[in-house]
Structure 1
Amino acid sequence: MSLKSYQSQAEQLLKYLVLSDPVVPYISIPAGILASKLVYDLTDLISGVYFKSYSNLSRIQRMEWNNRAMSTLHAIFITAASLYMVFLSDLYSDRYFGFITFRSSTISTFCLGVSVGYFITDLGMISWFYPSLGGMEYVIHHLLSLVAVAYAMLTGEGQLYTFMVLISETTTPGINLRWYLDTAGMKKSKAYLINGVVIFFAWLVARILLFMYMFYHVYLHLNQVLQMHAFGQLLVFVVPLVLSVMNLMWFAKIFRGLKKTLAKRQ
C-alpha cells in the first residue's frame, strides 16, 4: 500500500474520531496539555523509583528534571510529525494545484494543536517559576512559537513554514540529555562529550541550514506568501528571522562550550 493511501486512511480515521475539522483544535490542544501533564507526573513517579540521585535533588531541580522529560517527548513527537508533513506528505507538494500557503489537513492541524497545548503548558511553568526554568530568551522563544503555531493551526495559513521551523525541535532531546548528564555528575564522561558533538551538528543542520532553506523556499513562493493575511505574512517573515538570530547566538555558545570541552580533553 502506498504512503499516500496510508495518509488518506489515517486522515479518515482521525476525522471519524473528532467528528469534523472545526473540532480538531478543541480536542488537540487539551490533548497536548494533558499529555504534558501526564509525562510530567509519570517522570516524577518513575524517577523516584529508578534514579537514586533524583531524591537528592532540590525541589526546583526535580521540577526541571520532569519538565525536560515533558519537552523531550514533545520534541520527538513534533519533529517526527514535521519531517513527515514537510518531506514525505504530498500535502505541500508543488505538483498539485493551489497555493501551498493555504493548504492544511486534519492531521496537520491536529499535530499543531498538540504542540500548542505543550507550549501553553511549558510557557505557564516557565512564567510561574521564572527564572528557574529559563530566562527571558526562553519566554520570548515560547511566546513567538505559541503565536505562530496557534495561528497556523486556527487559520490553516502557512502551515508548511510552521512545520519547517518546528523541525528545529530535533535538537531539544540532546540539550535535555546534556542537562541530565550534568546534573548526574557526568560532565567529564565520554557520553557528555559525544552528546555535545551531536548537539553541535544537529543545531547546525536543524537551526541554521534548515532555516536558510526555509528562507529560500519563501523567496521561491513569495507570490503565494503575499496572498496570506497581513498578520500571517508578518509571522512568516518576522518569527523565523527572530528565531534565527536567537539560534545563531545559542550556536555561538554551543561552539565555545564544545571548543572549551575539547581543549580540556587534550
Structure 2
Amino acid sequence: MDLSTTSVMAAKDYLYKAESLVKEYLLADSYVSYTAVLGGILMCKMVYDITHLVSSFYYKSYASLTKAQKLEWNNRGISTVHAIFITYMSVYLVFFSHLFSDHLDGPITSRNSNLSNFTLGVSVGYFITDIAMIFWVYPSLGGMEYVLHHILSLISIVYSIYSGEGQLYTYMVLISEATTPGINLRWFLDTAGLKKSKAYLVNGVWMVVAWLVARILLFIYLFYHIYFHYDQVMQMQTFSCLLVFGVPTVLLIMNTVWFAKILRGLKKTMTKRD
C-alpha cells in the first residue's frame, strides 16, 4: 500500500470520526441546544471580525472612526446578521412549518423540535454575546432599556428551551428582530455622514412601516392567538404562563414608546428636507 493510499484512508477515517462526533454528541437531542449556544457565540465573533475586515477594505472613512464608533459599527454587523437569521427561521417555523399547526394533535403550546431548539440556542448565544458587550462598554452600546430587553429575551428563550413550552410565542416575539437591519442601517448612514441622503429618508419610512407591523400589530396578533388558545396556554407550567403573558406585555409597551420616538425622528427629518 503506497503512501497516497494510506493518507486517503487516514483522511476518510478522520472524517468518519468527526461526523460521528457531530451526530452522536454535538447534535444529539441532549446536546443540540448547548451546541447551538456555542455556535451562536462563535458566529458573533466571526461576524465581528468579518465586519471589521470588510469595512476597513471597502469603507475608507472607517479608519477615521473613534474606537467606540468602530466597536458599535462591528456590533451592529453582528446584530444585523442575527436579525436576518432569526427572522427567517421564526417566520418559517410560525407560519410555514407544520410544527405549530392547529391540525396536529396535542397542545400547540408544548411543541418543539431539534430545529426549533437549535435555532433558539443560536439566539441565546447572540444575546449572551451582545449583553456582555453592552456591559463591557456601558452605556456606549445602549442604556438600561437594552439591558432589560436582552435579559427578558434571554430568560424567555432559555426557559422555552428548557421546558419545551411556549416556543410558538417565543418565535412570534423574535420576528420583531426584522426591524433591526433598518435600525442599524440608519445608524450606519448617520455615522457615514449621509443623514441628508435620500437613502436615509427611505430607510426612515421603511422603519416606521416595519416597526408597526413587526413590533405592534404582530404583538396584537400574539395576544389574539393566546386568547383563542387560552385553555392550552393554561396547561403550561406557572412560570411559562407568566413569561407568555408578561414578556410580550412589557416588550409591547417598550415597542410603543420606541415607535413614538421613531415617528418623531421621521417627522423631524422630513421637516428639515422641506
TM-score bracket, shorter-length normalisation? over 0.9
- The one-letter amino acid of 1:169's match is E
RMSD over equivalenced CA pairs, Å: 1.2
* Displacement of 1:18: 3.9
Q: 2:67 maps to which residue? A: 59
Q: 2:58 maps to which residue? A: 50
Cα distance change of structure 1 residues 163 and 48 upon mapping to structure 2, 3 Å threshold:
same
Name the SS for the 1:21 alignment partner: coil
* Long gaps (5+) in structure 1: 1-13
Corresponding residue to 2:104 among 71, 90, 96: 96
Mapped to 2, the partners of 1:139 and 1:262 lie a distance apart of: 31
CA offset digits 1:192-234 (Å, max 9, x no partner)? 0000000000000000000000000001111111111111111
Cα distance change of structure 1 residues 15 and 201 upon mapping to structure 2, 3 Å threshold:
farther
- Aligned: 1:206 with 2:214: yes
Larger-Rg structure = 2
- The one-letter amino acid of 1:177's match is L
Cα distance change of structure 1 residues 194 and 227 upon mapping to structure 2, 3 Å threshold:
same
- Residues 189-228 of structure 1: matches in 2 within 5 Å? 189-228=197-236
Corresponding residue to 2:84 among 59, 66, 76: 76
CA offset digits 1:57-109 (Å, max 9, x no partner)? 00000000000000000000000000000000010011011001100011000
- The one-letter amino acid of 1:58's match is T
CA offset digits 1:17-66 (Å, max 9, x no partner)? 84421111110000000000110011112211211111000000000000
Name the SS for the 2:213 alignment partner: helix
Name the SS for the 1:249 alignment partner: helix
Over the matched positions of the two proteins, sequence identity in percent amounts to: 63
Aligned length: 253
- The one-letter amino acid of 2:76's match is R
Q: 2:140 maps to which residue? A: 132
CA offset digits 1:226-251 (Å, max 9, x no partner)? 11111111110000000000000000
1:25 and 1:154 in contact (8 A); partners too? no
1:15 and 1:106 in contact (8 A); partners too? no
Q: 2:158 maps to which residue? A: 150
Q: TM-score, normalised by structure 1?
A: 0.93
Q: 1:170 maps to which residue? A: 178
- Aligned: 1:230 with 2:238: yes
Cα distance change of structure 1 residues 33 and 19 upon mapping to structure 2, 3 Å threshold:
closer
1:32 and 1:115 in contact (8 A); partners too? yes
* Long gaps (5+) in structure 2: 1-21
Q: 2:7 maps to which residue? A: none
2:27 and 2:35 in contact (8 A); partners too? no
Name the SS for the 2:105 alignment partner: coil
Deviates more, 1:191-200 or 1:37-46: 37-46
Corresponding residue to 2:123 among 110, 115, 124: 115
Q: TM-score, normalised by structure 2?
A: 0.90
Which stretches of structure 1, 4 residues or longer, exceed 6 Å deviation after superposition?
14-17
1:28 and 1:114 in contact (8 A); partners too? yes
- The one-letter amino acid of 1:228's match is M
CA offset digits 1:85-143 (Å, max 9, x no partner)? 00000100110110011000110000000000000000000011100000110000000
